């Protein structure tokens, strides 16, 4: 019997069955894709966090302990693949005489490294020029001393005679911060900047130099064991963090006080696990609504065949089928739908993975590659059960046969409307949103060094309730418009139905349950597509803003500290091919009270031409307004919010800063007037700084030197322009294109993963919008074939039949598009507000991806129109055949 | 042979569903005529071809052999409720329209204004004493009530020929008799010919002409039937 039943369903009613299967398929594919992607993203975050570290651990040997013994203990620790002894010595200063002049620097650090150091830790040293062995000098130090390979540098050592070395090569130390960290000290006690003057010498030479120094000043020398740890770590950054941290603690325990471990790898994973939590949150916020929507769509599709199923059940029961048999038939249908939909969904997910990521498993680990699809498959089965079995069981239990044979209950109002559930949910959503976006709120809290991560799951309630509440409100409004505004509806459908408009309007009014459900589906799908697209675009835009904020411009040319390059040098930079404009930016240090802060001197009238100044960077005015204030008042100054608070400043108030005079090298007091607040500024640090007019600063200090040049390339060929500038300027300045900043400023979340999430989600959003528009409508029409057959027998021609169909399509399309666009915009705003933690800096306005949204709307409307016309086409079939079949 | 009063005329007309090995002959070489004012009961077992013959009379099925014509009607009657009105066995009302709207529908489709069509529909419903059902939806009607509204729809359109395909097939006897009464009343009012197919001998007995069908072959059992020409028997 079951076989006959299923064969009948497949051969006689393949449409509804296939549509339900398609709904399950989309839900499973979306969940499996996003889940696998999330697992893959987390694994890539771990890999990225580990590979970005040059030296995994720096073990500082305690005074009086044997470095060799500590190294042996370290090498014996599990997971350690290499351990190298590195000497650190303080120098009183470096001196070099070149081209007839002698340059001296302040204190610095001498590192003693073995010959294989660069090969063992390839990320630590970047060779710029000269040899790769022998005595190496840091780029900035070389610049300060005006030395090149072959020149001699003299090292001053406290209490002993200076030593001379011939420079073999110039290097860059990309991870100087961790290289010169104070091992074991808390973050607040770490040095604010690495030393300006660094010389790397062979360990044998270091031993000789340190022997004399240690006799008089042993406190100026220490030894570290630099360690390479295995990067075969668990894919989840949180688990990896715990693993590596525990291993570091274990090593410290084994060293028994002989050494302390500076856990660079753990610190990097510590940051990555926060990103990982944000990735999970993003997955839940952005991906889950899509999967739920696919599930609801499936249930709606299955429900659109409810009348047919009720009649069939009634027929079976009048023919004597037992409840058990009916239950088995329905279960068989659900299992077929669930299994086939699930398998097809997994296949689609694999295809999406292959197309978008080049791997069917999205690059996830084997465990994740199995778990997520398996879980998604089970969800698909559950959706099939909910869609098929639950309503069938409900009908079977609650309806008597005569009721079951009735076609539609069109006057029944959903219970939730009587309780105003939609208003209630929206009100609660607003309250939750208000609470979760207050200052001090943090969606993800990953305290440094603490194993546990807190995710504020309350935040999910806001968007969640908004989704549900808005969906119900759209339903209510659609029902109201369809049911209680006959004149409006008649006028609306008249263009396509002619004199049949009142009849069409009356019919649509009675079918308001079905039509309003389809409108809600369509609106939610569009809102999902819209909110996802707007959020992602805004996110990408802000990542770009962040990169520009950090780098300053398309290309930034930074002069070494103490350089006397003036704004006139801009003409040299302008001469490089691809440079559109150049803007000099002064960099000074200024004392306000006893605080030392960065001061940036700008040309207020032209700075905006070379870099982008967002309104969000400033307070008490827009970017343009504050630049205009600076331009209008020579001694105007912008101050950080923290400084305003600390010093109780009021707009227009006088501020006295102390700046270094160029000729006397002494601090002079310069008067400024506070005109606004700058929270962020290109190239500026995140905490406290000042923005002032460069001409005024030059006049008051007698110093026109420039800190950096912001180079505008129009966003084109930044790497080529940077290469041209490097070629022209040599090692005298540091040239950084924005492309380098994009990869360095972005966390693992921004630079690697969200683009993939975007691709997957937007593709599914498009499919959902098209499916919601077309499928529900097409199936609704399929259930009403009899209506069209009767109308046809009564003389309706093709144009009239097409008009009746198009009237319904127009109602769903217009209502759904308006409601979907509005909800999408509100959801985007809410997502940006709730997920503000992932934005740095927060966006001023949403970025609307117009082409994608237009394409989505066009495709979805096309799906509705296509379904409508297909339906009208089916009505061409001789009506008597249709009437006979039903 | 047709004259000014012949509404439908078939000459050795037949209808076959499908082709080749799966072909099913529903009507075999039927020759008959329906004239103005005729009252004909068409009976026969299930599958004998009654419905197909009625559909041929309504122009909803084409004759696959022989010829048919509607001499006294204004052209081909398919989709012309003002020429031929048809009532089906099952519910033939549109579920999302109430009784008045269902009755008015063919008039609006035919080009009448909605307001005028509604007035005509109410009038037809009133003439059949169904005012209490006017605002009801098909789901709120019993089978007999729904069929009577379908009759009102025919009445409102004012056809010259009314065809009823087993209109009492899903009703109990009392309801069935009531529906037939209404049908006859409507035909009388319009002066239209009425052809009713039925299984029920009691209902068939109420008609002056009684035709029967077996395996697609039409035979008349009424003693004096001017509308029937038994060519297949001769």
Q: What is the ipTM of this complex?
A: 0.87
* CATH fold of the domain at B6-220: Rossmann fold (3.40.50)
Q: Given CB atoms, is B96 within the 8 Å cutoff of chain A?
A: yes
Q: Given CB atoms, is A791 within the 8 Å cutoff of chain B?
A: yes
Q: Please give the pLDDT value at position A434.
A: 83
Task: Find the distance separating the first CA and the last CA of chain B, reported in whole Å.
Answer: 17
Q: Given CB atoms, is A520 within the 8 Å cutoff of chain B?
A: no
Instruction: Report how far residue A604's alpha carbon sits from residue B159's, in angstroms, rounded to the nearest whole number.
Output: 88
In angstroms, the separation between the Cα of residue A507 and the nearest Cα of chain B is: 5
**A556: β partners:** A710, A736
Q: Please give the pLDDT value at position B117.
A: 94
Cβ proximity of B149 and B93 under 8 Å: yes
In angstroms, the separation between the Cα of residue B231 and the nearest Cα of chain A is: 28
Mutation target for B interface from A793, A800, A882, A885: give the one with most B CBs within 10 A.
A793
B158 interaction partners in chain A (CB closer than 8 Å): none
Contact criterion met (CB < 8 Å) for B95 and A800? no
Contact criterion met (CB < 8 Å) for B108 and A883? no
Mutation target for A interface from B94, B103, B111, B134: give the one with most A CBs within 10 A.
B94
Q: Given CB atoms, is A641 within the 8 Å cutoff of chain B?
A: no
B111 interaction partners in chain A (CB closer than 8 Å): 499
In angstroms, the separation between the Cα of residue A483 and the nearest Cα of chain B is: 12
Question: What Å distances lie between residue A710 and A401, A691, A697, A713, CA to CA?
Answer: 80, 15, 19, 10
A510 interaction partners in chain B (CB closer than 8 Å): 95-97, 137
What letters, b where the CB count within 10 A reaches 16 and e where it falls short, cover A640-656?
beebbeeeebeeeeebe
With a CB cutoff of 8 Å and minimum separation 6, the contacts of B115 are: none
Low-confidence ranges of chain A (pLDDT < 50): 400-410, 748, 751-752, 886
Helix A323-357 / helix A390-398 crossing angle, nearest 10 deg: 160
Instruction: Report how far residue A3's alpha carbon sits from residue A235's, in angstroms, rounded to the nearest whole number.
Output: 46
A404 interaction partners in chain B (CB closer than 8 Å): none
Find, in chain B, the residue whose alpha carbon is nearest to that of A407. Answer: B139
Contact criterion met (CB < 8 Å) for A800 and B109? yes
Contact criterion met (CB < 8 Å) for A791 and B94? yes
**A689: β partners:** A598
Task: Name residue, tokens 């976006």.
Answer: A437
Q: Given CB atoms, is A634 within the 8 Å cutoff of chain B?
A: no
Contact criterion met (CB < 8 Å) for B108 and A499? yes
Query: Which pair of structure tokens corresponds to residue A756?
Result: 């993939």
Contact criterion met (CB < 8 Å) for B94 and A506? no
Of A757, A758, A760, A786, whose CA–CA distance to A886 is shortest?
A786
Q: How many CB pairs under 8 A join A and B?
A: 80
Q: Given CB atoms, is B80 within the 8 Å cutoff of chain A?
A: yes
Contact criterion met (CB < 8 Å) for B61 and A880? yes
Find, in chain A, the residue whose alpha carbon is nearest to that of B105. Answer: A503
Query: Which pair of structure tokens corresponds to residue A685?
Result: 């640090």
- Minimum-distance CB partner of B114 among A409, A499, A508: A499
Long-range CB contact pairs, A749-755, < 8 A, 24+: A749/A45, A749/A275, A749/A278, A749/A279, A749/A282, A749/A838, A750/A539, A750/A543, A750/A546, A750/A838, A751/A543, A752/A41, A752/A44, A752/A45, A752/A48, A753/A41, A753/A44, A753/A45, A753/A279, A754/A282, A754/A536, A754/A539, A754/A540, A755/A540
Q: Given CB atoms, is A502 within the 8 Å cutoff of chain B?
A: yes
Instruction: Report how far residue A113's alpha carbon sits from residue A182's, in angstroms, rounded to the nearest whole number.
Output: 18
With a CB cutoff of 8 Å and minimum separation 6, the contacts of B126 are: none
Contact criterion met (CB < 8 Å) for A790 and B94? yes
Question: What Å distances lie between residue A500 and A491, A780, B97, CA to CA?
Answer: 11, 20, 13
Find, in chain B, the residue whose alpha carbon is nearest to that of A879. Answer: B60
- Minimum-distance CB partner of B95 among A503, A787, A800: A787
Instruction: Report how far residue A508's alpha carbon sits from residue A783's, in angstroms, rounded to the nearest whole number.
Output: 15
Q: Given CB atoms, is B135 within the 8 Å cutoff of chain A?
A: no
Q: Please give the pLDDT value at position A703.
A: 87
Find, in chain A, the residue whose alpha carbon is nearest to that of B58. Answer: A793
In angstroms, the separation between the Cα of residue B69 and the nearest Cα of chain A is: 19
Cβ proximity of B84 and B34 under 8 Å: no
In angstroms, the separation between the Cα of residue B114 and the nearest Cα of chain A is: 7
Q: Given CB atoms, is B138 within the 8 Å cutoff of chain A?
A: yes
Task: Name residue, tokens 């999302």.
Answer: B96
B74 interaction partners in chain A (CB closer than 8 Å): none
Of A706, A489, A699, A475, whose CA–CA distance to A602 is shortest?
A706
- Minimum-distance CB partner of B105 among A791, A880, A883: A791
Query: Which pair of structure tokens corresponds to residue B207?
Result: 């008609």
H helical segments located in chain B = 50-58, 99-109, 114-127, 143-157, 173-190, 201-204
In angstroms, the separation between the Cα of residue B61 and the nearest Cα of chain A is: 8
Contact criterion met (CB < 8 Å) for B60 and A793? yes
Q: Given CB atoms, is A879 within the 8 Å cutoff of chain B?
A: yes
> Three-state DSSP class for A29?
helix
Cβ proximity of B203 and B168 under 8 Å: yes
CB atoms within 10 A of CB A185: 12
Instruction: Report how far residue A114's alpha carbon sits from residue A541's, in angstroms, rounded to the nearest whole number.
Output: 45
Residue-wise pLDDT for A76-87, tens only, equals 999 999 999 999
In angstroms, the separation between the Cα of residue A788 and the nearest Cα of chain B is: 9
Mutation target for B interface from A795, A801, A802: give the one with most B CBs within 10 A.
A795
Spans of all domains in chain B: 6-220
Find, in chain A, the residue whose alpha carbon is nearest to that of B113. Answer: A499
DSSP A351-420: HHHHHHHSSTTTT--HHHHHHHHHHHHHHHHHHHIIIIIHHHHHHHHH--HHHHH----TTPPPHHHHTT
Find, in chain B, the residue whose alpha carbon is nearest to that of A803. Answer: B109
Find, in chain B, the residue whose alpha carbon is nearest to that of A502. Answer: B114
Q: Please give the pLDDT value at position A458.
A: 73
B109 interaction partners in chain A (CB closer than 8 Å): 500, 791, 794-796, 800
Contact criterion met (CB < 8 Å) for B139 and A409? yes
């Amino acid at each position: 019997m079951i076989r006959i039943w299923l064969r009948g369903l497949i051969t006689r009613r393949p449409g509804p069955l296939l549509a339900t299967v398609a709904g399950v398929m989309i839900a499973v594919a979306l969940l499996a894709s996003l889940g696998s992607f999330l697992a893959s993203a987390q694994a890539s975050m771990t890999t990225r966090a580990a590979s970005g570290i040059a030296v995994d651990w720096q073990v500082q040997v305690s005074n009086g302990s044997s470095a060799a013994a500590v190294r042996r203990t370290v090498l014996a620790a599990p997971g350690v693949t290499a351990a190298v002894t590195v000497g650190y010595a303080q120098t009183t200063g470096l001196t070099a005489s070149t081209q007839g002049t002698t340059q001296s620097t302040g204190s610095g650090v001498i590192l003693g490294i073995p010959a294989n150091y660069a090969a063992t830790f390839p990320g630590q040293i970047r060779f710029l020029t000269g040899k790769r062995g022998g005595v190496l000098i840091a780029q900035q130090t070389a610049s300060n001393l005006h030395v090149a390979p072959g020149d001699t540098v003299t090292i001053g050592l406290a209490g002993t005679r200076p030593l001379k070395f011939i420079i073999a090569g110039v290097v860059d130390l990309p991870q100087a911060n961790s290289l010169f960290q104070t091992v074991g000290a808390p973050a607040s006690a770490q040095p604010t900047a690495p030393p300006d003057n660094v010389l790397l010498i062979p360990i044998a030479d270091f031993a000789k130099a340190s022997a004399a120094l240690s006799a008089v000043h042993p406190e100026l020398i220490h030894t570290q064991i630099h360690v390479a740890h295995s990067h075969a770590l668990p894919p989840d950054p949180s688990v990896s963090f715990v693993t590596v941290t525990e291993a570091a603690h274990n090593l410290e325990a084994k060293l028994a006080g002989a050494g302390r471990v500076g856990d660079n790898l753990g610190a990097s994973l510590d940051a990555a696990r926060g990103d990982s939590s944000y990735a999970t949150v993003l997955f839940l916020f952005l991906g889950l609504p899509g999967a739920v929507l696919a599930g609801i769509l499936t249930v709606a599709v299955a429900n659109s065949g409810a009348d047919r199923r009720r009649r069939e059940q009634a027929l079976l029961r009048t023919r004597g089928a037992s409840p058990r048999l009916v239950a088995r038939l329905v279960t068989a249908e659900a299992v077929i739908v669930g299994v086939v939909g699930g398998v097809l969904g997994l296949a689609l997910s694999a295809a999406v993975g292959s197309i978008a990521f080049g791997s069917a498993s999205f690059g996830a680990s084997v465990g994740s590659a199995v778990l997520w699809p398996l879980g998604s498959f089970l969800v698909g089965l559950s959706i099939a059960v909910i869609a098929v079995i639950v309503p069938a069981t409900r009908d079977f239990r609650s309806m008597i046969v005569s009721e079951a044979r009735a076609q539609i209950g069109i006057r029944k109002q959903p219970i939730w409307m009587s309780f105003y559930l939609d208003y209630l949910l929206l009100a609660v959503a607003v309250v939750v949103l208000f609470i979760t976006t207050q200052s001090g709120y943090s969606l993800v809290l990953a305290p440094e060094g603490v194993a546990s991560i807190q995710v504020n799951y309350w935040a999910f309630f806001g968007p969640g309730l908004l989704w549900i509440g808005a969906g119900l409100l759209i339903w209510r409004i659609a029902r109201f418009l369809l049911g209680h505004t006959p004149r409006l509806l008649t006028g609306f459908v008249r263009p396509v139905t002619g004199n049949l408009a009142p009849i069409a309007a009356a019919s649509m009014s009675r079918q308001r349950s079905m039509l309003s459900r389809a409108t809600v589906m369509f609106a939610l799908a569009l809102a999902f597509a819209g909110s996802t697209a707007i959020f992602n675009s805004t996110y990408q835009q802000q990542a770009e803003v962040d990169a520009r904020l950090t780098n300053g411009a398309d290309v930034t040319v930074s002069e070494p500290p103490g350089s006397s390059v003036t704004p006139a040098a801009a003409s040299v930079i302008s001469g490089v091919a691809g440079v559109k404009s150049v803007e000099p930016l002064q960099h000074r240090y200024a004392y306000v009270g006893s605080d030392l802060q960065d001061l940036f001197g700008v040309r207020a009238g032209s700075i905006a031409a070379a870099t982008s100044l967002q309104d969000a960077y400033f307070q008490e005015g827009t970017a343009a307004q504050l630049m205009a204030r600076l331009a209008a008042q020579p001694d105007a100054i912008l101050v950080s919010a923290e400084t305003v608070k600390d010093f109780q400043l009021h707009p227009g108030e006088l501020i006295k800063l102390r700046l270094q005079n160029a000729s006397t090298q002494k601090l002079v007091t310069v008067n400024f007037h506070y005109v606004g607040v700058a929270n962020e500024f290109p190239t500026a640090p995140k905490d406290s700084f000042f923005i002032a007019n460069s001409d005024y600063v030059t006049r008051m200090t007698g110093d026109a030197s420039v800190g950096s040049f912001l180079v505008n390339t129009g966003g084109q060929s930044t790497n080529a322009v940077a290469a041209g500038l490097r070629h022209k300027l040599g090692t005298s300045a540091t040239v950084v294109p924005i492309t380098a900043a994009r990869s360095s400023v972005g966390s693992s979340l921004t630079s690697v993963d969200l683009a993939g999430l975007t691709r997957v989600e937007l593709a599914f959003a498009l499919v959902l919008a098209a499916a919601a528009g077309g499928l529900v409508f097409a199936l609704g029409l399929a259930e009403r074939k009899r209506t069209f057959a009767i109308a046809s027998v009564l003389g309706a021609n093709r144009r009239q039949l097409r008009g009746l169909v198009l009237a319904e399509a127009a109602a769903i399309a217009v209502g759904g598009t308006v409601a979907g666009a509005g909800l999408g915009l509100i959801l985007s705003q809410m997502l940006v507000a709730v997920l503000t933690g992932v934005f740095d800096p927060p966006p001023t306005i949403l970025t609307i991806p117009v082409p994608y949204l237009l394409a989505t709307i066009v495709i979805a409307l096309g799906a509705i129109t296509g379904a409508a016309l297909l339906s009208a086409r089916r009505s061409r079939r001789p009506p008597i055949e249709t009437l006979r079949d039903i | 042979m047709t004259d000014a009063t012949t509404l439908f005329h078939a000459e050795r007309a037949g209808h076959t569903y499908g082709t080749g090995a799966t072909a099913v002959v529903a009507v075999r070489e039927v020759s008959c005529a329906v004239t103005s004012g005729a009252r004909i009961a068409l009976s026969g077992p299930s599958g004998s071809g009654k419905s197909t013959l009625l559909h041929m009379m309504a122009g909803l099925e084409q004759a696959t052999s022989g010829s048919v014509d509607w001499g006294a009607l204004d052209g081909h009657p398919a989709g012309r409720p003002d020429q031929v009105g048809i009532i089906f066995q099952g519910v033939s009302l549109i579920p999302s329209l109430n009784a008045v709207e269902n009755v008015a529908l063919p008039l609006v489709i035919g080009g009448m204004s909605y307001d005028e069509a509604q007035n005509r529909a109410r009038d037809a419903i009133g003439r059949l004493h169904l005012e209490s059902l006017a605002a009801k939806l098909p789901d709120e009607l019993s089978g007999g009530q729904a069929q009577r509204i379908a009759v009102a729809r025919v009445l409102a359109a004012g056809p010259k020929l009314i065809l009823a395909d087993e209109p009492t097939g899903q009703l109990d006897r009392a309801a069935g008799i009531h529906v037939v009464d209404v049908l006859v009343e409507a035909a009388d009012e319009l002066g239209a010919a009425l052809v009713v197919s039925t299984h029920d001998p009691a209902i068939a007995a109420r008609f002056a002409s009684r035709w029967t069908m077996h395996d697609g072959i039409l035979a008349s059992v009424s003693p004096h039937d001017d509308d029937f020409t038994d060519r297949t028997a001769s």
